[in-house]
Each structure stands twice: as C-alpha cells, then as structure tokens.
Amino acid sequence: MKRRIFLRATLRDHQIAGFAALAIVIHILEAGVPTPIPGIKPGLANVITLVVLLRHDLRAAIWVQLLRVLVGSLLIGSFLTPTFLLSLSGALGSLAVLALMTGWNHVARPVRLGPIGLGVAAACAHMGGQFCVAYAVFIPHPGLLTLLPVLLTAAMLFGALTGWLAGALCERLQTEREGGGEPG
C-alpha cells in the first residue's frame, strides 16, 4: 500500500513564497536593463530581502534570496552558467554578512545597524563574493583588481539606495498596519 504524504503550507510559507515571487520578478526585470559597466546593477531585488529580514527574520530572508537566485536563473536561462555562479556567490556572501550583522544587532543594541547600514554591508559582501569567484574561477589576472574600487564604490552607493528603499518600505508598511496609511 502506498503511503501518501500531506504537506500543509503555513501562512509563513505563503508569505515567503510571495516575497520570493516579487524578488524574482524584480530580478528578471533588472536582468533586461543594459548597464554601462559589466557587473554593476542596482540590485533592487535585494530590497525585498532586506524588507523580509527587517520585518520577519534571517531564515525567511535566506529563503527569499536563495529562491530568487535559483528560480530567477531558471527563468532567465542562466542556471549553472557563469552568471548563475556569480549570482549565487554574491547571494551567499551577502547572506553571510547579513547573518553576522543580525547577530551584531542582537548583541550590540546601542550601536545597531539600520537598513542603510545593512544594505551597504550586504552589497559590499555581494560584490566581494562575486569578485572572488570571478578572480578565482573565470579571470585569474591581476588586471581584474583594477576594477575592484569602481565595483565596491558602486556597491556602496547601490547598497545605500537599497537600504534606504527597504527602510522606507518598512516604515510605510508599519504605518499601514497601524491604520494610519493614506487612503488610496
């Protein structure tokens, strides 16, 4: 006799799926935007990851980020290509730093990092992870190091933008939850 397994999705599962779907859509839209310098994109899908981290927890943010990278690469057609490996390495780097910063925020309450600080730290780690993989696997040439200051500067700027957007979105969501939202 075959045994059936029933899985029940919780409200949290639905929320994570919804956030991941939103991040995937943003990821796909952003993939179609040309950039003047390869490797520099705003990373607007990371706004969703930060919102999930700030409003829920690290575990949910990890799910959203990894689902975005995996499903986004499958839909774009870049799964297991160099682009996927760079995206995954950046995501893992940013998640590692977000985990450290979340721990820091729990331990050092008077000097907590806000959304902008988290955004900048995650973006720099994302760029660092991508750069390390690019250097180690694809282009092991010292000339690549000349791009690092430009890439990290862009990461800091876009990380600050991402953090600011995530913070503004969290404030707006909190206002709406408390019933003080503007009528739409």
Residue 23 lies in a domain: yes
Q: Is residue 67 part of a domain?
A: yes
Percent of the chain with pLDDT over 90: 56
- Average pLDDT, integer, range 16-27: 92
Q: How confident is the model at residue 184 (pLDDT cuts 50, 70, 90)?
A: very low
Q: Dihedral sign, CA of 113, 169, 64, 124?
A: negative
Mean of per-residue pLDDT scores for the chain: 89
* Residue 73, domain member (yes or no): yes
* pLDDT at residue 3 greater than cutoff 90: no
CB 12 within 8 A of CB 60: yes
Between the CA of residue 37 and those of 15, 52, 76, what are the distances in Å?
Answer: 35, 29, 20
Tell me what the mean pLDDT of segment 164-172 comes to.
92
Write the CATH number for 170.
1.10.1760.20
pLDDT reading at 41 higher than 70? yes
If pLDDT is split at 50, 70 and 90, which confidence band does 38 have?
confident
How many other CB atoms sit within 10 Å of the CB of residue 51? Answer: 23
Q: In terms of pLDDT, which residue wins out, 59 or 34? A: 59
**pLDDT-based confidence at residue 182 (cuts at 50, 70, 90):** low
- Does a structural domain hold residue 184? no
For 80-131, the pLDDT digits (tens) are 998 899 999 999 999 999 999 998 888 877 778 889 999 999 999 999 999 9
Residue 182 inside a domain? The answer is no
Per-residue pLDDT, 53: 94
Residue 95 burial (CB count, 10 A): 21
On whether residue 24 sits in a domain, the answer given is yes
pLDDT of 180 = 61
**Domain contains 6:** no
183: pLDDT strictly greater than 70 = no
Average pLDDT over residues 167-180: 82
- Number of domains composing the chain: 1
Residues 6+ apart with CB under 8 A from 154: 37, 40, 127
Range of the domain at 127: 11-177
19 domain-assigned:
yes
